[in-house]
Amino acid sequence: MGLDKPSHELAQPSFKVLGMRVYLSILLKICLSLCCSRVTENAKNTLASLKRENPQFEPTLAIIQAHNDQLIQEANKNFAKEIGLRVIHICLPESSTKDEIVSEILRLNEDPNVQGLALDLPESLYSSKVLNAVKPEKDVDGLSSVNLGRLLHGDDCLVPPTVCAVMELLGDIGGKKVLLVGVRGAEGAALQSVLQRQGAAVLSCHCKAPQLQSELGHADTVVFGSAKPDDVPVSWIKPGATVIYGAHDLLSEKHNHAQQNNTAAEKTVGSLAVAMRMQNMVKNMERCIHSQRHRKWDFHSLKLQPLSPVPSDIEISRAQSPKAVDVLAKEIGLLTDEIEIYGRTKAKVRLSLLERLKDQPDGKYVLVAGITPTPLGEGKSTVTVGLVQALTAHLNINSFACLRQPSQGPTFGVKGGAAGGGYAQVIPMEEFNLHLTGDIHAITAANNLLAAAIDARILHENTQSDKSLYNRLVPVVNGVRGFSAIQLARLKRLGINKTDPGTLTEEEISKFVRLDIDPSTITWQRVVDTNDRFLRKITVGQANTEKGFARQAQFDIAVASEIMAILALTTSLQDMKERLGRVVVANDKKGEPVTAEDLGVSGALAVLMKDAIKPTLMQTLEGTPVFVHAGPFANIAHGSSSVLADKIALKLVGEKGFVVTEAGFGADIGMEKFFNIKCRASGLVPSVVVLVATVRALKMHGGGPNVTAGAPLKKEYTEENLQLVADGCCNLQKQIQITQLFGVPVVVALNVFKTDSPAEIDLVCKIAKESGAFDAVPCNHWSAGGRGAIKLAQAVEKAANQKNSFKYLYSLELPIVEKIRTIAQKVYGAQDIELSPVAQSQVDRYTQQGFGNLPICMAKTHLSLSHQPERKGVPTGFILPISDVRASIGAGFIYPLVGTMSTMPGLPTRSCFYDIDLDPITEEVKGLF
């Protein structure tokens, strides 16, 4: 008889002589060894292939053991080593309670370095509480209720290792009668299910049952849950039957069954079960890797029932029940350990996803910009939300919206929130507009820590000798004096290659401790996220404790902080840390830049920002995903949401999906900065520009009366006036031309209001197409949700397949002044630029300091193409005045000031906060819009 035949054929009734029984026993042991070798070799080859494809992957199996059986521990280690798995044993006392076991399981569940979890416990500890504590995706033993449920239903799952071993030894069991003796619990249920699926007739019996002798006499195969009970004579077992011992331990393998006077083929599963456990671990790795690859979304939209007239934004938001954020995350392919949940509807997404999906092709990248707006805004956020609702909820195309986090200044001031509006908004809108996940508070804390460090350093340098400063900056701790890592970096920048504080010369000590900040050059201001006009100019240092070192300063609004711009442009935690270190806060008395790293504070800033760097996941009214991340000021900064949010979203949507993001203000400001600054930082190439226009704004550009926030619109804006619309389309045509400078297809989205006439709508779309737009589409998403933007979504999808010849407007190698001139002439339509003496001096200084190759971020009014807000339409022939030039070196751009630019808004007479209130019973926020 060949050894390659199924194992049950080795146990035929013809073997009746003792010598043949010994021979059979040897054959069975050889068979068992061959089975283990084959299983191990297959697992080894599979794992090696997985590692070749995923070289960064190091699969780790954690085994919780609560007994002293060293044989099992050694078997696990040996099989794992042969296969190439890393195994860690957590050895607990035999007296451990179930709660102690569960506590250890929960810890390992959350360990991202552990991909599989197995249990080697005394029988008394195998309870449903313990087994179900193991995460199903880490359950290598396959004994959790989730896994067993899949097994019983015939779904894809891991079969428990002992069951696998039993089935391996039995071979073809179809039509056989199988008796399970003392096989209980989860393994018993799993074994019975698998046997029945293989066509066996299965009967289960307790080892003390009165009918046991009769059943043993008729069974073709007997599986004992442990070693055969002593009070069960061998003679009870049917001659030629196959007997399996499913013991958890390996000691039963040392029993000498050859001494037993029976012709049954007896087999133990101990070592084979361990091999099968390792095989399960490898299968788990295959599933893990497969689950980490991009797959089609299993998305379920939320249904909308739009009302007419359209209720307030907050009423609409409240009427919808959002999905739990973990449900949304699962639908779009996020893994459990890639999200950090904040409440029920928000979650931070970890940057590790970028590594997991690094080989996944990006989706299409869509930018929403606008024409020169009225003070009321023209609805770019609403269009962005309506577009993704149409794409995903109605056209079944993966899409993501990436939006800026709104400042609380405008929310409580005059503009209100920024969650979109009507039936195209992000929900819950009060959570979107208030606090969110605390990113702006983290920015405020980091910004003000740096501001405090500047003034404190000036004070200490002015009141202490070099020696005193050195002793305090490099103190003796526990008898040892040493530099911190950031101090060593400063020494290296100074050209002092020493690591022992005791070896510095007096001159080197002076260079090290003295920053010599010139207070008149300090550009770093404190911030607060509130519109507070009385903080626009303040005096700091007036207390007697500051010893007369007072100076004039100011507060900016928090979103104007350079740290916000850094957050929006950074590409990784390391990149953010380096950018924070490069922040220039002032010049020293020799005219050289002083940085956050010189102050020794950059590491602490990174600590304060470590959670803020993760985008926040939310959803639209129709349940489509949204990233809310960063919100830099759109005048002195670039006004776009984060690079990281875009990059993560582009991976999640897949190659045929769409990521829709927004640029602040009109295309002349927001879009130009998006392309020349953000796209340079990210390396991403836009597929389409959606240019938002309104009939209202076009009438204003055509000569209509002034539009004022809070005041009723004049009749020119509420009655049909085709001439005003036609005259105002010059601004739309100019913005289309600006888009074409960058070589990107443009689709015009006409945001329709109820006062717009059909003739006005048709006229705008006709002129837009004649002016070079790929398409022009009226949109009703505000009143109808995603259904009202379906035609826009279809136009965007078609435009994304057009030839794209994206290019930057200017080369970074150009001098600073020439880059400013290029923007002024080609984008704004200026005749030329004029720099003030202050601006020219700053340009010269930044060039001398080595910052001349940075992109330009123009700080200009958004209410006109020119520097004069009252000049509407398309002004020409003007000279653009540059009053000052400043630098955000950490963010990575130079920002010229066109005229006077306030970085701290003020509150109006009638602020939004008059309408905002809290219901003390329901805790509902009222009055937000």
Is residue 665 part of the annotated active site? The answer reads yes
**Residue 114 identity:** V
Write down the catalytic residue from 753, 774, 878, 893: 753
Cβ atoms of residues 352 and 744 within 8 Å: no
Give residue 733's Cα distance to chain centre: 38
Tokens of residue 466, six digits? 């070099």
Range list of β-strands (E), 148-200: 177-181
The answer to whether residue 415 is catalytic is: yes
Q: What is the CA radius of gyration of the chain?
A: 36
Distance CA 292, CA 878 (A): 56
Q: Which of 451, 379, 460 is nearest to 421 (CA)?
A: 379
The residue among 571, 554, 494, 606 whose CA lies nearest residue 892 is 571
User: 828 near 865, Cβ under 8 Å?
Assistant: yes
Strand, helix or coil for residue 119: strand
Ranges of beta strands (E only) in 70-115 are 86-91
Residues 6 or more apart from 275 whose CB is under 8 A from it?
A: 35, 36, 39, 40, 43, 79, 165
404 part of the active site: yes
Choice among 380, 614, 821, 860 that is catalytic: 380
Q: How far apart are CA 569 and CA 192, in angstroms?
A: 58
Nearest to 884 by CA among 910, 851, 918, 859: 859
Measured in residues, the chain has a length of 929
What gap in Å lies between CA 224 and CA 186, rounded to an integer?
15
- Tokens representing residue 150 in the block: 């899949």
Q: Choosing from 415, 490, 577, 821, which is the catalytic residue?
A: 415
Neighbour order of strands in the sheet with 242-245: 201-205, 177-181, 221-224, 242-245, 265-268
Instruction: Answer whether 427's CB lies under 8 Å from 322's CB.
Output: yes
Active site residue 753: yes
Q: Is 380 a catalytic residue?
A: yes
CB atoms within 10 A of CB 313: 24
Sheet holding 60-65, edge to edge: 86-91, 60-65, 116-120
What tokens does 906 get? 């003020």
Contact 31, 266 (CB under 8 A): no
Active-site option among 15, 665, 674, 675: 665
Torsion angle of the four alpha carbons 194, 198, 200, 206, in this order, in degrees rounded to the nearest 10: -10
Active site residue 782: yes
Type of residue at 782: W
Phi-psi region of 892 (alpha: psi -120 to 50; beta: other; left: phi over 0): left
Give, in order, the Cα–Cα distances in Å from 20 to each of 4, 15, 608: 19, 6, 76
297 catalytic residue (yes or no)? no
**Which pair of structure tokens corresponds to residue 234?**
């061998």
Active-site residue identified among 345, 382, 411, 444: 382
Which residues are known catalytic residues? 380, 382, 404, 415, 634, 665, 753, 782
